[in-house]
Amino acid sequence: MTDLTSLTIAEAREGLASKSFTSLELTDAHLGAMEAARSLNAFVLETPDQARAMARAIDAKIAKGEGGPLAGIPLGIKDLFATKDVRTTACSKILGNFVPPYESTVTSQLWRDGAVMLGKLNNDEFAMGSSNETSCFGPVVNPWRREGSNTTLVPGGSSGGSASAVAALLCMGATATDTGGSIRQPAAFTATVGVKPTYGRCSRWGIVAFASSLDQAGPIARTVRDSAILMRSMAGHDPKDTTSVDIAVPDYEAAIGRSVKGMKIGIPKEYRLDGMPAEIEKLWTEGAAWLKAAGAELVEVSLPHTKYALPAYYIVAPAEASSNLARYDGVRYGLRVPGRSIGELYENTRAEGFGDEVRRRVMIGTYVLSAGYYDAYYLRAQKVRTLIKKDFENCFAKGVNAILTPATPSAAFGVGEKGADPVEMYLNDIFTVTVNMAGLPGIAVPAGKDAQGLPLGLQLIGRPFDEETLFSLGEIVEQAAGRFTPPRWW
Amino acid sequence: MNVSVKPGKLIKGQTGDWEVVIGMEVHAQVTSKSKLFSGASTEFGGEPNSHVSLVDAAMPGMLPVINEECVRQAVRTGLGLNAKINLRSVFDRKNYFYPDSPQGYQISQYKSPIVGEGEVVVELDGGKTATIGIERLHLEQDAGKLLHDQSPTMSYVDFNRCGVALMEIVSKPDIRDAEQAKAYVTKLRSILRYLGTCDGDMEKGSLRADVNVSVRKPGGPLGTRCEIKNMNSINFIGQAIEYEARRQIEIIEDGGTIDQETRLFDPNKGETRSMRSKEEAHDYRYFPDPDLLPLEFTQDYVDDLKAHLPELPDQKKARFIESLGLSSYDAGVLVAERESAVFYETVLEDLADKGRDGKLAANWVINELFGRLNKEGHGIVDSPVSPAQLAAIVSLIGEGTISGKIAKDLFEIVWTEGGDPRELVETRGMKQVTDLGAIEKVVDDIIAANPDKVAQAKAKPQLAGWFVGQVMKQSGGKANPQAVNDLLKAKLGI
């Protein structure tokens, strides 16, 4: 028997259905892999007992010919998702040992469909970061290394634990969240597939909020097909989240293999940055050629306000975060550091509970919303946001079906390499934030390697609620580029 | 809009007359089963923290969902205030740290409220009215309650009230003295209670007012205002305004200036004192709540609510005057409280002849019933005399079965003992005697027994009153006074 952990979800689904192995066996194989890979620091909490109990229960169902679309598939859950009776911390000290008495809508849909929870995955504190170095549990290690080097690389962030665990075969797929690139950038850094759905496609209920108008849950998986399978279970309208949209969830998997003949693929000229590494440029050209070979038509498009997206994002997101994180005050749950007055209790708790990056963003956010600065910063940023959205709308109005861009401006970098200057770190999201600002769906697909053997990804941006086209196109890139698995060294 | 402002009572200072300018922010708790953004109960008086949902406690990842009933109630209130209803409004976050606010922000409406400008006509002494402009009405969350008396070293917090829907109703600065201010809150409360959108229970805190007071020389520029927070009694509002206006006048006349600040009223001392100055004011960092889409509904929705509004006090008053011939004063008294109006209208329904006795019924409700209720300290809902009983008494007078005087005795019996007034009249022999033969016999007997008085009366007809008194006395008050008069005049030849 092949190593069960190397199977894709689609393959495991068949194996389980044909009774080649049980969910318990599949789960145990992953629990073993997790144990052996603790040096990657991908999981912040392993839940083996719960995993085996869930696997046994689903095995019983499978035996009776029941079980949903994800029956028996072991998954990892980003620690931003509230999981009932299982510690949920958003990887922040301020939540301490918080155990929610509720389950997020997205994860409850995964369990409804038969998935098995292996544990909680590491992420940047409150999803604020692009390298998974801001987690209170310490950085996640990328299973990929530069050829001939032992340098520890970051997996990207904020969903670094999800990407690393999926790439290192610790779980078959993972939940993740994306506010400015937190699914797509780590997917690109680890040669996994990451989907940031249209804003409103997945419920935000029960997901620790970072920036409410930008946050969106999505899957990280090893193939486009697997990500489509997970998406179908994660998506859906939720009356408990009024920003979720009541549109039927399509069978995303059915979009894979669908012809893309005649589709117009936009190549935005503004994404051709000065000083962009030649290998990124090459990857992009190659990706475009693959799509063209599949029958799509390439058109140069313009998204003129792209250059304002990152600065505007770093106003809107911290503004919302400063308000969203106000609830962590030491009064009701999580960390409490006492003081002589209520003011001191707040100050002590928040000073000790929040890490540097979170504090930085809370302060930026507070500043841009303050009287006298609101119009100059927050309001202007919202106007920019509208313009960015319009850029995309104009483009789609001209018949463009999807837009192809690089996913990141570089491959994974070393742990500690980009800590000094926060702006340098923020630049990681340069190709991804526009998608969140416009509320559009995006997918990152592994497309090649750089000169040092590190994976690089391409991003496809779709029309609102047209994730299906992204799966169709993504699979073409995947087929052309092939799949990439890191050599096991841990 | 200030054209309709009624000049108020001026205050005499050392440097002449001063005018008071008052604007109010009334917080009215919306009558709804559950909270503004969660399914938790709004019931008053539960065990601390027994009506708290995950959303109210601001647990991580929780999201607000608008309670449509609260929206409906806010729109209905806007319609009752003759106000513009905004088909699109926006919820904003008002950010501040305080333990009564678990989210760290209050969800409110800042730039785009659900209801815009409107107006309220208020009744003043002497049958005068004033029109007070409404600036806006918006929906927002109530806060929790801190309990400082549970422990010597700690404070506790009860989130039961946290997230309950409030309507903040902001008036224009159209109010000119304490009487107008009291009349405004009274009228607003009455409208809310007629609509059933707020129970108006000020003791329980369902209705609270922040009162902005400034003073100026009549017609001069507006002065600096002070805000008196959290007033929960109409009388205190009056006292606080009187005190605050005089305090400001004294400061200005002594050469000082008014600091814009928030003040609290101390009902025991009858004075206001500083709570926080403008410098200490929060920067609330308002911004649109990204968890909530803008609130949108159609004109049809508004029209439908409008079509089903109950009759409001002003309309009811006009109807009482027009169709029943009540005086403006009487109609005003009857409609002031929803329960009084309901009582009166129930009496009307039970009257045998509404056209004949409607006005009489109003007199009886206002003078006999209210008078007695006030004396005994009862509210109208606890009245020992039911509308049906009162209607029977009034009908008995109207149809001539009993006199007004006997009716008062009957009312006393019904009040203390209860019973069916018609039966009581029969069984206790209270019926007015209109049988001319019976009365004539009594008249004849008295004339025969008192020849001297007859002579006197013939000389001085005004002395005939003595005979009337005797007849009434002998008949136990039941003789029809008109019949007695007519008979006496004929018999005495006067």
SS (H, E, C) chain A: CCCHHHCCHHHHHHHHHCCCCCHHHHHHHHHHHHHHCHHHCCEEEECHHHHHHHHHHHHHHHHCCCCCCCCCCEEEEECCECECCECCCCCCHHHCCCCCCCCCHHHHHHHHCCCEEEEEECCCHHHCCCCCCCCCCCCCCCCCCCCCCCCCECCCCCCHHHHHHHHCCCCCEEEEEECCCCCHHHHHHHCCEEEECCCCCECCCCECCCCCCCCEEEEEECCHHHHHHHHHHHECCCCCCCCCCCCCCCCHHHHCCCCCCCCEEEEEHHHCCCCCCHHHHHHHHHHHHHHHHCCCEEEEECCCCHHHHHHHHHHHHHHHHHHHHHHCCCCCCCCCCCCCCHHHHHHHHHHHHCCHHHHHHHHHHHHHHCCCCCHHHHHHHHHHHHHHHHHHHHHHHCCCCEEEEECCCCCCCECCCCCCCHHHHHHHHCCCHHHHHHCCCEEEEEEEECCCCCEEEEEEEECCCCHHHHHHHHHHHHHHHCCCCCCCCC
* Together in a domain, A357 and A216: no
* Together in a domain, A343 and A411: no
Q: Which two tokens stand for residue B417?
A: 């003992």
CB contact under 8 A, A242 and B292: yes
* Together in a domain, A30 and A159: yes
- Identify the residue with better confidence: B276 or B166: B166
* Together in a domain, B341 and B202: no
The answer as to whether A215 is a domain residue is yes
* Together in a domain, A406 and A348: no
* Together in a domain, A462 and A325: no
| The pLDDT of residue B437 | 77
* Together in a domain, B285 and B399: no
* Boundary residue ending a domain (A381, A412, A439): A381
* Together in a domain, B462 and B372: no
What strand order describes the sheet that includes A43-46?
Answer: A43-46, A116-121, A74-78, A173-178, A216-221, A193-196, A442-449, A455-462, A402-406, A264-268, A297-301
Q: Cβ contacts (< 8 Å) between A105 and chain B: which residues?
A: none
Q: Cβ contacts (< 8 Å) between B54 and chain A: which residues?
A: 101-102
B230 touches chain A (CB under 8 A): no
Q: Cβ contacts (< 8 Å) between A374 and chain B: which residues?
A: 285, 287
Residue of B nearest to A367 (CA): B285
Smallest Cα distance from A210 to chain B, Å: 9
The answer as to whether A475 is a domain residue is yes
Burial tier of A342 (Cβ tally within 10 Å: 0-12, 13-18, 19+) = middle
| B450: CATH | 1.10.10
- Using left for φ > 0, alpha for ψ between -120 and 50, and beta otherwise, residue B255 falls in left
CB contact under 8 A, B104 and A212: no
Q: What is the mean predicted confidence (pLDDT) over A100-113?
A: 98
pLDDT digits (tens, 9 = 90+) for A184-209: 999 999 999 999 999 999 999 999 99
C-alpha span between B79 and B311 (Å, rounded): 12
* Together in a domain, A377 and A413: no
Q: What is the mean predicted confidence (pLDDT) over A60-77?
A: 95
* Together in a domain, B68 and B25: yes
pLDDT at B223 over 70: yes
B99 touches chain A (CB under 8 A): yes
* Together in a domain, B333 and B227: no
Q: Residue B358 — pLDDT band, cuts 50, 70, 90? A: very high
Closest CB to A369 among B59, B99, B285:
B285
Closest CB to B61 among A209, A322, A333:
A209
* Together in a domain, A352 and A446: no
| The pLDDT of residue B2 | 44
CB contact under 8 A, A326 and B103: yes
> The tokens 């995309």 sit on which residue?
A392
Q: What is the mean predicted confidence (pLDDT) over B322-332?
A: 92
| The pLDDT of residue B434 | 66
Closest CB to B59 among A100, A239, A243:
A100
Domain span including residue A348: 306-381
| A434: CATH | 3.90.1300.10
pLDDT at A21 over 60: yes
The answer as to whether A336 is a domain residue is yes
The answer as to whether A37 is a domain residue is yes
Could you give the number of structural domains in chain B? 3
Least confident of A452-461, B258-267, B476-485: B476-485
- Using left for φ > 0, alpha for ψ between -120 and 50, and beta otherwise, residue A446 falls in beta
| The pLDDT of residue A274 | 85
B49 touches chain A (CB under 8 A): no
* Together in a domain, A368 and A418: no
Q: Residue A56 — pLDDT band, cuts 50, 70, 90? A: very high
* Boundary residue ending a domain (B378, B404, B427): B427
Q: What is the mean predicted confidence (pLDDT) over B139-159?
A: 93
pLDDT at A453 over 90: yes
C-alpha span between B399 and B407 (Å, rounded): 12
* Together in a domain, A60 and A143: yes
CB contact under 8 A, A241 and B157: no
Closest CB to A240 among B65, B95, B104:
B65
* Together in a domain, A93 and A190: yes
pLDDT digits (tens, 9 = 90+) for B90-132: 999 999 999 999 999 999 999 999 999 999 999 888 878 899 9
* Together in a domain, B418 and B485: no
The answer as to whether A278 is a domain residue is no
Q: Residue A2 — pLDDT band, cuts 50, 70, 90? A: low
* Together in a domain, A369 and A410: no
* Boundary residue ending a domain (A323, A349, A381): A381
**What is this model's ipTM?**
0.96
* Boundary residue ending a domain (B259, B284, B305): B305
* Together in a domain, B382 and B297: no
Domain span including residue B410: 311-427
Could you give the number of structural domains in chain A? 2
CB contact under 8 A, A323 and B105: yes
* Together in a domain, B247 and B367: no
* Together in a domain, A376 and A443: no
Smallest Cα distance from B155 to chain A, Å: 9
A–B interface: beta-carbon pairs under 8 A: 97
* Together in a domain, B61 and B102: yes
| The pLDDT of residue B133 | 97
Indicate if A23 belongs to the active site: no
| The pLDDT of residue A433 | 97
A303-340: buried (b, 16+ CB within 10 Å) or exposed (e) per residue?
bebbebbbebbbbbbbbbbbbbbbbbbbbebbbbbeee
Please pick, among A158, A159, A162, A472, the residue that the annotation labels catalytic: A158
Please give the angle made by the CA atoms of A88, A92 and A97, to the nearest 5 degrees. 45
Q: Cβ contacts (< 8 Å) between B99 and chain A: which residues?
A: 329, 331, 342
* Boundary residue ending a domain (B276, B305, B334): B305
Please state the pTM of the whole predicted model.
Answer: 0.91
Q: Cβ contacts (< 8 Å) between B290 and chain A: which residues?
A: 211-213, 243, 320
